[in-house]
A and B are shown apart, each in its own frame.
Chain A
């Protein structure tokens, strides 16, 4: 049940590679589920999520949308899909989110800028080269900014991936067979340990999403580690109410068998007669 994570770069033919992989190995291919589910959880239109990803959202939309919320719900969806296995995931930060899982193959598919512009012009049936160039640049900038903000990495750094394929000369078929060959290699074999790792990450993503969705804990920013159904909460919260709510919400998440609450409270630990210098 291989899980393959691809990058999403406008005009890079990653979509064709994903579809081909699906055909060759009988894998599911992710389509728009993530955007729909995230939009559903946030009670916004699906198109808003797409606009935010493509860098096309208006200034007001960008300010009024909680990006952290988008990121947290996205991560939950990606892990949920990866847990199911037998799937090709494309974009949504899947390559970075699933990078710690040993059996997930993380692939970047790229192509020279001019060819991507050509692809877009063909796709949009336009002859306005400058507009197409601007469109590709805007999409790249939006992706690069989001990767930096969310994961603190430089988008496109080859060290982030197991395999980088340039489709300038490599055909879609060859790319797909290369990826499948790598997925069958012993280092990507699925083991109990690798599954446990994925389960742990998925559980912590679910806990994080649940905390984000709960009214009391939506503003907290805490460390969540999960392994074998055991959730450990670390970090700082504002008050006891938040601490207890965080533990309660985490305990109610499906798959969390026990919660260890190591949260500390941001409180004044001593009484002072003065607080001014």
Chain B
């Protein structure tokens, strides 16, 4: 029970007035990011990262992670009130949330969505509290070959578990690796792919890429759609909330199942969006009221929201314990760690106890604070969305530009951001996934470093990747996942093809 002692120490760290204040500011900003089109968890956190440069690492991570929780909460508001998902993982919430709002149950739907988000996050945080130290302790035994194997597993699981064409995922990842290679080679000190341009010596900062790809790209997509928010108004009074809370324990099976799906999809790089779709599909299939799903069932709001939040929260487990981000937002937080002068990885649990346990404690408190804040401020955020998109969009682009500029105070970064925005738009139009690109950009040089260290140890012998049971099984699993699309296709050829459980058009990354 060392974890509990450490956790209470973490609570002591978080409960200082400054940190509590930052937590509330973070949640409010996060919800705003969640409801605004064009700003999501990853680029929202990236834009606000410079705000934290002058803070202590613990205060900074508390604020940033609270922005993230807020963004996770916020997506549901637009889904339920306007039938326009604010974030991709709240798409499944529109299926039953909006019909509920149409039936005059908007308050109930919102209360159910927020509460089950909280439940999903809470279950995932409990899992992180007890699992992360164990994984970190285990990972302390890792050497370069093990780390490279884990990186390889992360990359390959994108191919194996991603939806859509595996070749598109590989192509996107390869572009990410190429971008990661630009700049100075850390082992030999040679310049690579700079073409004599001095500004490229710095390499491509992934924060710029995240802001551009996810922020500008999405604004372009939304402009094309001609987004218009018109829908139901929300009134959330305490009576409705209490009545909903009385009803929710009835769906405990759905909650637990969705949380399990979410945690699994979060820890493996499946992501929150597939998790929310999958748990919605499972709930529809297993519920007795499955036929009524889509006409305004509380259970249809509970399932995707629980799963999305559980996935979003548990995506931080590999980042914390191994220093390997499973999602773009985790990558941004990891980038933050480096900027604040911390070395991400399993040693964090040994050397930076305040930081790690402060973060974990803030996951508990941040979600409680988030639940209270969203329950009380929904009408405010709904009102913001009634501002026309033609006013919101330029403001967001300016915010993105400021965010990109402050990373290195270089004007080139703003142009790069715009360039990445165009790439993001084109990628999405062609149905290429962006997350593999971002993660390859973040992890590319780390993976290269550990690979080259491993090669130095083994004097160039690849067999080191199979030299012991641990590294061998991770490498084997990685290769299995890499070949999974081929294997599953071969398997489908032998057996009768299975019915497609989810829509083919779901997001590819």
Residues in A lying within 8 Å of B, measured CB to CB: 152, 219, 221-224, 234-236, 238-239, 263-277
**Distance between B125 CB and nearest chain A CB, rounded to angstroms:** 14
Chain A's closest residue to B99 (CB) is A264
B308 partner residues in chain A, CB cutoff 8 A: 277
- CB distance B505 to A267 under 8 Å? yes
Chain A's closest residue to B290 (CB) is A221
**Distance between Cα atoms of A263 and B85 in the complex (Å):** 20
Knowing A272-B218, A276-B272, the reply to whether A223 touches B292 (Cβ < 8 A) is: yes
- CB distance A275 to B509 under 8 Å? yes
B68 partner residues in chain A, CB cutoff 8 A: 277
Partner of B291, one of A219, A235, A239, A265: A235
B88 partner residues in chain A, CB cutoff 8 A: 268, 270, 272, 274-275
B503 partner residues in chain A, CB cutoff 8 A: 238-239, 265-268
**Distance between Cα atoms of A267 and B294 in the complex (Å):** 12
B294 partner residues in chain A, CB cutoff 8 A: 234-236, 263-264, 266
Q: Does B315 contact A (CB under 8 A)?
A: yes
**Distance between Cα atoms of A264 and B315 in the complex (Å):** 31
Knowing A234-B295, A266-B95, the reply to whether A276 touches B327 (Cβ < 8 A) is: yes
Number of A-B residue pairs having CB atoms within 8 Å of each other in the complex: 132
- CB distance A276 to B269 under 8 Å? yes
Q: Does B72 contact A (CB under 8 A)?
A: yes
- CB distance B285 to A277 under 8 Å? no
What 5 A-B pairs come out closest when comparing CB atoms? Answer: A236-B294, A275-B507, A275-B273, A276-B271, A277-B312
- CB distance B85 to A270 under 8 Å? yes
- CB distance A269 to B291 under 8 Å? no
Partner of A275, one of B271, B329, B500, B501: B271
A277 partner residues in chain B, CB cutoff 8 A: 41-42, 68, 72, 89, 266, 271-272, 308, 311-312, 315, 327-330
Q: Does B145 contact A (CB under 8 A)?
A: no
Q: Does B57 contact A (CB under 8 A)?
A: no
Q: Does B378 contact A (CB under 8 A)?
A: no
Chain B's closest residue to A274 (CB) is B214
**Distance between A261 CB and nearest chain B CB, rounded to angstroms:** 13
**Distance between B216 CB and nearest chain A CB, rounded to angstroms:** 9
**Distance between A166 CB and nearest chain B CB, rounded to angstroms:** 30
A interface, by DSSP: helix, strand, loop or mixed? loop
27 contacts between A and B (CB under 8 A): A152-B288, A221-B284, A222-B291, A223-B292, A234-B292, A235-B294, A264-B95, A268-B91, A268-B505, A269-B83, A269-B84, A269-B94, A271-B225, A273-B213, A273-B424, A273-B428, A274-B88, A274-B328, A275-B88, A275-B507, A276-B42, A276-B327, A276-B329, A276-B435, A277-B266, A277-B271, A277-B308
B410 partner residues in chain A, CB cutoff 8 A: none
B40 partner residues in chain A, CB cutoff 8 A: 272-274
Partner of B434, one of A235, A268, A270, A274: A274
**Distance between Cα atoms of A126 and B424 in the complex (Å):** 78
**Distance between A117 CB and nearest chain B CB, rounded to angstroms:** 33
Beta-carbon contacts under 8 Å, B290-336 to A: 290-295, 308, 311-312, 315, 327-330
Known: A221-B293, A276-B328, A277-B266; 20 extra A-B contacts, CB below 8 A, are A152-B288, A221-B290, A235-B293, A238-B501, A238-B503, A265-B503, A266-B294, A268-B507, A269-B94, A270-B221, A273-B217, A273-B218, A273-B427, A275-B88, A275-B273, A275-B506, A276-B435, A277-B41, A277-B328, A277-B329
Q: Does B502 contact A (CB under 8 A)?
A: yes
Knowing A264-B294, A275-B507, A276-B273, the reply to whether A270 touches B214 (Cβ < 8 A) is: no
Chain A's closest residue to B424 (CB) is A273
**Distance between Cα atoms of A276 and B314 in the complex (Å):** 12
Q: Does B239 contact A (CB under 8 A)?
A: no
Chain A's closest residue to B435 (CB) is A276
- CB distance B506 to A268 under 8 Å? yes
Beta-carbon contacts under 8 Å, B43-88 to A: 68, 72, 83-85, 87-88
**Distance between Cα atoms of A228 and B292 in the complex (Å):** 22
**Distance between Cα atoms of A276 and B88 in the complex (Å):** 8
B85 partner residues in chain A, CB cutoff 8 A: 269-270
**Distance between B307 CB and nearest chain A CB, rounded to angstroms:** 11
**Distance between Cα atoms of A55 and B93 in the complex (Å):** 39
B291 partner residues in chain A, CB cutoff 8 A: 221-224, 235
- CB distance B285 to A221 under 8 Å? yes
**Distance between A122 CB and nearest chain B CB, rounded to angstroms:** 39
- CB distance A276 to B509 under 8 Å? yes
**Distance between A272 CB and nearest chain B CB, rounded to angstroms:** 4
Of A238, A266, A268, A273, the most chain B CB neighbours within 10 A belong to A273
**Distance between Cα atoms of A272 and B425 in the complex (Å):** 9
**Distance between Cα atoms of A270 and B79 in the complex (Å):** 11
Chain A's closest residue to B287 (CB) is A221
B509 partner residues in chain A, CB cutoff 8 A: 274-276
Beta-carbon contacts under 8 Å, B258-286 to A: 266, 269, 271-274, 277, 280-281, 284-285
**Distance between Cα atoms of A234 and B292 in the complex (Å):** 7
Q: Does B504 contact A (CB under 8 A)?
A: yes
Chain A's closest residue to B507 (CB) is A275
B72 partner residues in chain A, CB cutoff 8 A: 277
**Distance between A217 CB and nearest chain B CB, rounded to angstroms:** 11
Q: Does B495 contact A (CB under 8 A)?
A: no
**Distance between Cα atoms of A276 and B435 in the complex (Å):** 7
